[in-house]
Structure 1
Amino acid sequence: MRLVIDGVTRLVRRYRLDGNPLRRRTDRWESAGLAVAMLLILLALWPATAAARQAYEGAQAAGADRRQVRATLLADTPVTALSFGEVGGGGMVAAGWTAPSGRRHTGKVSVLSPAKAGSQLTIWIDGAGRPAPPPPSEAELRITAAATALMILGVAACLVLCTFAIFRHALDRVRLREWAVAWSLADDHWRHRPS
């Protein structure tokens, strides 16, 4: 924990805007650029929150029309022949069910365990009466919203920090040119120094 605090303290000292006469103009530009970058990352919280809410409500609305109904199997579950005998198991089996609207439907449903024709099971259907996965739970909705927010914040932070890195690289090139000019002046001064 102490290492983190020391690192943050060094960063604040390095980038704070102050009246230090030893700071170069490019150092002040870099500090201002970092402040703008942090502000942009903080501003990305708003679209991330809006997108998370939209993802939550969209996933919730997608599962809102799902209903549970009782389906009757029209065939036995398939039997798999193995070298040591036959094994009954689940799979896709023809079934019939009645939607809440009263309309009769048939189709293939997923059965997890062996079952005979005429057996009943509970399935989820969508608004059109077709088999559908169950609606997302509250935990799944929250995970979807959080993942959406984190993805948008991550992309925004990546874009901002990459832009800051390019800006800092340009400042480093300016610093190197200024350094070369300063050394050239110092070299001229020392070379032409009277004895």
Structure 2
Amino acid sequence: MRSNPTVPLRIWRLRPWSLNPLMRPSDRWESVIRSLIVVVLVLMVPVAGAIGTTTYTRTAEQIKVDNAAKVRVSATALADATRAPSSSPYHDGGYQASVRWVRAGAEATGTVAVEPDTKSGATVPVWLGPDGKPAGAPDSPDAAVFNGIGIGLMVLLLSGTVAVLLLWGMELVLGGVRNLRWESEWRRIARPIGT
């Protein structure tokens, strides 16, 4: 025979509307707050999904617009590739070279990222933005997927963190209330030490 009740039975016994006279008011409040937090966390799942979907849609459209404005041209390297300056000691700046290209009959020059083995006179692909200046390669549509999933997971993580902090704060407050009540009850029934 089992000496301890099952988990579902213990949860059922903690319901706030229980008629058990041994259930303290702080236990009832704790049960109500825990129930509300569970309901809010369950409701946050579709909210996070909706936010992630909206982010994905907006990012995918932005990537589509940005990529449509970029044009690929062939440029000629004017010098060998050199190491690009890095903004951080933990990030490799890659390699860069000065290049020259012709677009719509106009010649232009600029410094772009290249492969490390690029030599002077080599043909280098360059992506130009709508202003005719070098821009990065077109972004992959997969970036929108990762952005949407990341934002959705971040919303879930933040709501879970807030829930844990609320539970922790509730435990501190209600634990303090219980301790004060136990202390006052103990003083009523116990004699002072030494008498």
Please give the alpha-carbon distance, in whole angstroms, between the structure 2 residues aligned to 1:70 and 1:113.
20
Name stretches of at least 5 consecutive residues in structure 2 with no aligned partner.
Answer: 1-5, 84-93
In structure 2, distance between residues paired with 1:13 and 1:71: 72
Q: 2:135 is paired with a residue of what secondary structure?
A: coil
Q: What amino acid is aligned across from residue 108 of structure 1 in structure 2?
A: T
| Alpha-carbon separation, structure 1, partners of 2:140 and 2:82 | 33
Q: What code does the residue aligned with 1:91 have?
A: Y
Give the corresponding residue for 1:51: 51
- CA spacing shift, 1:107–1:18, aligned 2, 3 Å: same
Q: Tell me the CA shift for residue 112 of structure 1.
A: 0.4
TM-score by length of 1: 0.68
* 1:181 is aligned to 2:184: yes
**RMSD of aligned C-alpha atoms?**
3.3
Q: 1:44 to 1:103 in 2, by over 3 A?
A: farther
TM-superposed CA distance for 1:98, in Å, is 5.0
Distance 1:73 1:94 in 2: 9
Matched, 1:125 2:131: no
In the alignment, the residues of structure 2 paired with residue 46 and residue 103 of structure 1 have an alpha-carbon distance, to the nearest angstrom, of 53
Shift of residue 137, structure 1, vs aligned partner: 2.5
Q: 3-state DSSP class of the match of 2:79? A: coil
Q: Partner residue of 1:149?
A: 152
Q: Which of 112, 115, 125 is residue 115 of structure 2 equivalent to?
A: 112
Corresponding residue SS for 1:42: helix
Output aligned runs, 1:16-35, within 5 Å.
16-17=15-16, 19=18, 21=20, 22-35=22-35
Partners of 1:185 and 1:161 lie apart in 2 by 36
Alpha-carbon distance in structure 2 between the residues aligned to 1:119 and 1:53: 43
Change in Cα spacing, 1:179 to 1:103, as seen in structure 2 (3 Å) is farther
Q: Find 1:93's aligned residue among 80, 97, 107.
A: 97
Query: In the TM superposition, what is the alpha-carbon distance from 1:30 to its structure 2 partner?
Result: 0.2
State whether residues 55 and 148 of structure 2, in contact with CA within 8 Å, keep that contact through their aligned partners in structure 1: yes
**1:77-136 Cα shifts (integer Å, max 9, x gaps):** 2479xxxxxxxxx8322223456x776543111110434444323233333233223333
Of 135-144 and 8-17, more deviation after overlay is shown by 8-17
Q: Percent identity?
A: 22
Of 62, 75, 78, the match for 2:78: 75
Structure 2 vs 1, CA of residues 175 and 187 (structure 1 numbering), >3 Å: closer, same or farther? same
Aligned length: 172
Give runs of aligned pairs for residues 157-176 of structure 1, distance below 5 A: 157-176=160-179
Unaligned ranges ≥5, structure 1 = 1-6, 81-89, 189-195
Structure 1 residue 163 displacement after superposition:
2.2
| Deviation of the 1:32 alpha carbon | 0.4
Equivalent residue, structure 2, for 1:38? 38
